Chain A
């Protein structure tokens, strides 16, 4: 029971956080013009967050994860859509894990 209560509480916290993100920009724009500097800071967040997800995972995962990431980026650069690129990455990592 305790663990389930914990799960429900965390889900509620997540819902609150995502709601703040969905509504705050729209709402703030009524009062505050977002300055170019603020805009630049907000615009930097998506890639920064993704780099922050990848870096520890790559360091911890080692070779399969590193090559999988390169394969994914390579597939994007070769003009694949993101779904195909991610599937290429998943396949690469799964195969390398069998070998290592």
Chain B
């Protein structure tokens, strides 16, 4: 069934950009931390900024830094980015009813800026009756610019900072995970997949395949979540 496409206007883009501004603060903090940690991990400032510009995924980028040094670990890095961003598969699926009727170039352009903030803020805005699809792009582009600029600033500051461990900057990813888990934890149904994930991560880490730990945890959690679905809750 072909629906008529939603509006896609400059005014909608501006509304989205305005929505994104309050969230610039957290984008900025992660960008600064990523820049400083990237320098510490041995990337050049140019490489760090390039990575932010073409990958645009804070959690995945910080996670990859942990397995950056050492072996030429391409497959673990590919798998890590894949599982860390697997939530975008769900979000993309959820956006199909909204963006599906748009011309392909507009939906593709919008999806390039798919991040948590854009998804959450634009979905919330849409629920208020503002169906302009460019709202999403507005949020995404502002988050993108904040992320790339903050990465550059973080690289610059990081060079004078000394060891980021002194300021516990290396804890930022664990801190992010702790706070996000606390917020996302809604039902006891999370327990099984989480235990499977912890067991997988620790086992892989113990066996020396540390760079696979995150990817393995994601796969173990997904399998457990799928298998446990429909059991008594």
Contact = CB atoms under 8 A, between A and B. Distances in A.
Contact of B175 (A12, A18, A27, A86): A86
Given A11-B55, A42-B222, A83-B26, A21 B179 contact: no
B51 A55 contact: no
A97 B47 contact: no
A11 to B, nearest CB: 5
B96 A52 contact: no
A31 to B, nearest CB: 11
A25 B93 contact: yes
A63 interface: no
Given A21-B89, A48-B221, A51-B201, A56 B210 contact: yes
A48 B47 contact: no
A51 B198 contact: yes
B127 interface: no
A10 B77 contact: yes
Interface residues on B, range: 35 or more
B175 A89 contact: yes
A40 B197 CA distance: 15
Interface string B189-226: 01001101110111001000010011011101111111
A1 interface: no
Interface in B67-110: 68, 72, 74, 77-79, 81-96, 99-100, 107-108
A93 B43 CA distance: 25
A49 interface: yes
Contacts of B222: 41-42, 44-45, 48
Contacts of B197: 47-49, 51-52, 55
B2 interface: no
Contacts of B229: 36-37, 40-41
Nearest to A9: B74
28 contacts: A13-B81, A15-B55, A25-B89, A25-B90, A26-B92, A26-B95, A27-B92, A29-B93, A36-B230, A37-B230, A40-B230, A45-B221, A47-B193, A48-B217, A48-B221, A49-B84, A50-B178, A51-B177, A51-B221, A53-B174, A55-B213, A56-B210, A61-B174, A64-B168, A65-B171, A68-B175, A82-B176, A85-B178
Interface of B: 25-26, 29, 42-44, 47, 50-51, 54-57, 60-61, 63-64, 68, 72, 74, 77-79, 81-96, 99-100, 107-108, 111-112, 114, 165-169, 171-185, 190, 193-194, 196-198, 200-202, 205, 210, 213-214, 216-218, 220-226, 228-230
Given A52-B217, A65-B174, A76-B182, 13 more contacts: A11-B47, A15-B54, A15-B55, A45-B222, A48-B222, A51-B181, A52-B213, A53-B217, A55-B213, A56-B205, A76-B183, A89-B175, A90-B172
